[in-house]
Amino acid sequence: MADASSKGPFSCGLDAAVAVVGGKWKPLILWALHERPCRFGELRRNVSGVSEKMLTQQLRELESDGIVHREVYREVPPRVEYSLTPLGQSLNDALLPLGDWGEANLVTIVATRQTPRTSS
């Protein structure tokens, strides 16, 4: 267990993990990079609904956090590939049970979200 001085701005490990992977797009980007490196256009196609601007922003944040590696190949035209770092791979491995939970409960989640809520 980390002592209070090593936690920085985080109250616990879950707080730190959510800070790194929080939001709608980051888990989907990590999932898209799970099997192999991808170029930007391929990521944009695999992460349905993300805008070019948002994908760029999220990739920069993931790179800044040491989760994603950006490799620039000095070719004409230039080629850029994104891949998971070892830290990113370990984060993706930690997300696998969450994805399994989502798959196992997908029908219930969809049904619950489609049911009109009554006010108390």
The count of residues in the chain is 120
DSSP class of 68:
E
Please report the pLDDT score of residue 88 as a whole number: 96
Binning pLDDT at 50, 70 and 90, where does residue 117 land?
Answer: confident
Token pair of 87 as six digits: 């830290």
Could you give the CA distance from residue 12 to residue 4 in angstroms, rounded to a whole number?
9
Rounded distance between C-alpha atoms, residue 65 and residue 83, angstroms:
13
Q: How would residue 114 be classed by pLDDT, with cut points 50, 70 and 90?
A: confident
Average pLDDT on 61-75 reads 95
State yes or no: pLDDT of 1 exceeds 60: no
CB 25 within 8 A of CB 60: no
Q: Give the C-alpha distances (Å, rounded to integers) separating 42 from 29, 33, 50, 62.
A: 11, 10, 12, 17
The pLDDT of residue 69: 98
